[in-house]
Amino acid sequence: AQSVTQLGSHVSVSEGALVLLRCNYSSSVPPYLFWYVQYPNQGLQLLLKYTSAATLVKGINGFEAEFKKSETSFHLTKPSAHMSDAAEYFCAVSEMNRDDKIIFGKGTRLHILP
Amino acid sequence: DTGVSQDPRHKITKRGQNVTFRCDPISEHNRLYWYRQTLGQGPEFLTYFQNEAQLEKSRLLSDRFSAERPKGSFSTLEIQRTEQGDSAMYLCASSRGQFNQPQHFGDGTRLSIL
């Protein structure tokens, strides 16, 4: 069975500050890992995806995430927060080569303070 | 690429009524997925289609739920005898059939049961 745990249902950062959203995964087989963003009343948009190639994955909008197998983590970071980054962020996991079956975390709402 | 389209965006109905939602995937995508998202949670997988074949169904999909994709293009999700617990956002996503292809999400249908 696979699962992800997102630490912190709400995170607040000041505009221009580092964004760090934490995600730990559990998987009995090599995983694919994802970060999605959801703006209010909209669907999810893929930010980035880890597929066992490079452990540091760069995504859209300046976000990146690092796969750390020893820590079973896949934390999302952005060096400098913008007001437009305010949204809900979901970490997700699937089995390798089974990205038709994605398991999502509960989400972290990111608030950007002016 | 016109994106995944869902209709209606909002549905309010009385308990016990039947409701049907429609999803139009991106035209060249042969995989189509349905998810349910309740308040404060991440999306939960319900079912998915490869062309017109329904390949997997979650145990969350009770007998009151049925999904179809008759010609391998648009899909419908019907809920019979709705209950209060069915109130949620129902998300549709589509992807190409090959592995490592991202799922593209629609903006969802928000169902409210009175």
Mean pLDDT to the nearest integer, B93-101: 82
Specify whether the CB–CB gap between B1 and B29 falls below 8 A.
Answer: no
Spatial separation of the C-alpha atoms in residues A44 and A25, rounded to whole Å: 20
CA distances from B83 to A114, B66, B71 (A): 42, 15, 30
- Gap from B5 CA to chain A (nearest CA, Å): 10
Of A19-28, B23-32, B51-60, the one with minimum mean pLDDT is B51-60
CB atoms within 10 A of CB B95: 22
Confidence at B7, pLDDT banded by 50, 70, 90 = very high
User: Rounded to an integer, what distance in angstroms lies between the CA atom of residue B14 and that of residue B45?
Assistant: 25
Least CA distance to B99: which residue of chain A?
A: A97
Q: Is the preceding omega at residue A31 within 30 degrees of 0, hence cis?
A: no
10 Å CB burial of residue A7 (0-12, 13-18, 19+) is middle
Report DSSP state, residue B65. E
Nearest CA in chain A to B90: A43
Percent of chain A with pLDDT over 70: 99
- With tokens 């597929």, the residue in question is A51
State chain A's maximal CA–CA distance in angstroms. 42
Partners of residue A60 in chain B, C-beta under 8 Å = none
- Give me the pLDDT at residue A99, please: 67
Q: Tell me what the mean pLDDT of segment A75-86 comes to.
A: 97
The answer to whether the Cβ–Cβ distance between A43 and B108 falls below 8 Å is yes
How far does A62 lie from chain B, in Å, by closest CA?
19
Mean local confidence (pLDDT), B38-63: 90
State which residue of chain A sits closest to B108, comparing Cα positions.
A43
